[in-house]
């Protein structure tokens, strides 16, 4: 395998599948099978999921809800998604642990770095919930932060597009796809990869980011085998 320990970042919206909101059981099962495939190959997997399929704090704030309250509500939505993914993974006989940045000990362990690393070393899939535990930070930032803390080799950001393009490929058929691109070029070309806080944190810690299409069956394993899937962002 090309990477030994990964942090997989999934958006909450990805769990909706063809639905308008909530969680699509079929999509959840598909993702779980993809994850099991790489765990069975010996890859250590940590996961951060967004909560946009249940609640979007930014949208609620624009409608008058207090930003801090809205962000905490969004964090709880990520825990709901984490519980759903945990259940789906365990249906496939995978060992999992859900760790949350906000204590809710009846349903999850509190996040402790050494505990998370130990779970990974034992072959358990670790799901990080409740973001960073602080308002004003996205789950992208939480993903980068956790990846740095557990010494992940790469962040794999699963999206519905197959990489980074010079412009929106859904709007511009002449958009050019990048197989590899540097952090500096992403910034200079004003390409949308992650929010700026997350992206800068990744660059400062020399943590590569792989953007790929998670919805295409087999892509996750192909990325782990080092095949040219998606776009790799790094310093080189």
Residue with tokens 């099991």: 36
Q: Are 77 and 58 in contact (CB under 8 A)?
A: no
Q: List CB contacts of 19: < 8 A, sequence separation 6 or more.
A: none
Domains delineated in the chain: 5-234 (3.40.1160.10)
Q: Are 32 and 93 in contact (CB under 8 A)?
A: no
Encode pLDDT of 163-220 as tens digits. Answer: 999 988 878 888 899 999 999 999 999 898 899 999 999 999 999 999 999 999 999 9
Of the chain, the end-to-end C-alpha distance in Å amounts to: 21
**In this predicted structure, what is the pLDDT of residue 94?**
98
Report the C-alpha gap between 39 and 50 in whole angstroms. 22
Which pair of structure tokens corresponds to residue 201?
A: 């944190």
Encode pLDDT of 47-97 as tens digits. Answer: 999 999 999 877 777 788 899 999 999 999 999 999 999 999 999 999 999
Encode pLDDT of 192-208 as tens digits. Answer: 889 999 999 999 999 99
């Amino acid at each position: 395998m090309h990477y030994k320990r990964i942090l997989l970042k999934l958006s909450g919206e990805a769990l909706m599948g063809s639905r308008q909101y909530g969680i699509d059981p079929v999509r959840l099962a598909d993702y779980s099978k993809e994850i099991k495939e790489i765990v069975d190959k010996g890859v250590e997997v940590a996961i951060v999921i967004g909560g946009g399929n249940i609640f979007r704090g930014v949208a609620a704030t624009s409608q008058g809800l207090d930003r801090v309250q809205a962000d905490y509500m969004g964090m709880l939505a990520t825990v709901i998604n984490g519980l759903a993914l945990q259940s789906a993974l365990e249906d496939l006989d995978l060992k999992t642990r859900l760790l949350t940045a906000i204590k809710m000990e009846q349903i999850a362990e509190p996040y402790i770095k050494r505990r998370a690393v130990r779970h990974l070393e034992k072959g358990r899939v670790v799901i990080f919930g409740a973001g960073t535990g602080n308002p004003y930070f996205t789950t992208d930032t939480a993903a980068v932060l956790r990846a740095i803390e557990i010494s992940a080799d790469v962040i794999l950001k699963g999206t519905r597009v197959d990489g980074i393009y010079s412009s929106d490929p859904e709007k511009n058929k002449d958009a050019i796809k990048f197989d590899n691109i540097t952090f500096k070029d992403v910034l200079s070309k004003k390409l949308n990869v992650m929010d700026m806080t997350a992206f800068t944190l990744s660059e400062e810690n020399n943590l590569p980011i792989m953007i790929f299409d998670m919805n295409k069956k087999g892509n996750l394993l192909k990325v782990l085998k080092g095949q040219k899937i998606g776009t790799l962002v790094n310093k080189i």
